[in-house]
Amino acid sequence: MEEVFTAPDGTPIDALGSMATERLTVSRNPISLEITLLPGRNPDPIGALWPGDDVPVTINRHQLHINGTYRIVRAAINPVGNTMDLTLNLRVPL
């Protein structure tokens, strides 16, 4: 299986090796979250977050406890409900 990964614009050339290593590690054993962002936050993240961005995630609700830095791997804006669906993968320290 092969995947082509495009680095975000402005990525320094010397960062590409570590990005490729991280992508390979995450692809082999992904720890993913599927989330939907709702409007009304200040600042509004809808339309400001895109694939390649890193986001801190903290969720402590009942038995669910998540705390880590995740990279956005997929983003889709739903104009009807003004929501944004994100797929996040846990960043793996190298």
Classify residue 49: in a domain, yes or no. yes
- 72 within some domain: yes
Domain count for the chain: 1
**Residue numbers of the domain that contains 56:** 31-90
Per-residue pLDDT band for 86 (boundaries 50, 70, 90) equals confident
How sure is the predictor about 36, in pLDDT bands with cuts at 50, 70 and 90? Answer: confident
Per the domain annotation, does 59 fall within a domain? yes
Per-residue model confidence (pLDDT) at position 30 = 67
In a domain, 42, yes or no: yes
- The model carries a pTM of 0.61
> CA-CA distance, 94 to 91, in Å (whole number)?
9
End-to-end CA, the chain: 23
> In the structure, what pLDDT confidence band is assigned to residue 29 with cuts at 50, 70 and 90?
low
Q: In which residue are the tokens 């490729």 written?
A: 20
**Does residue 7 belong to any structural domain of this protein?**
no
Cis peptide before 43 (omega within 30 of 0): yes
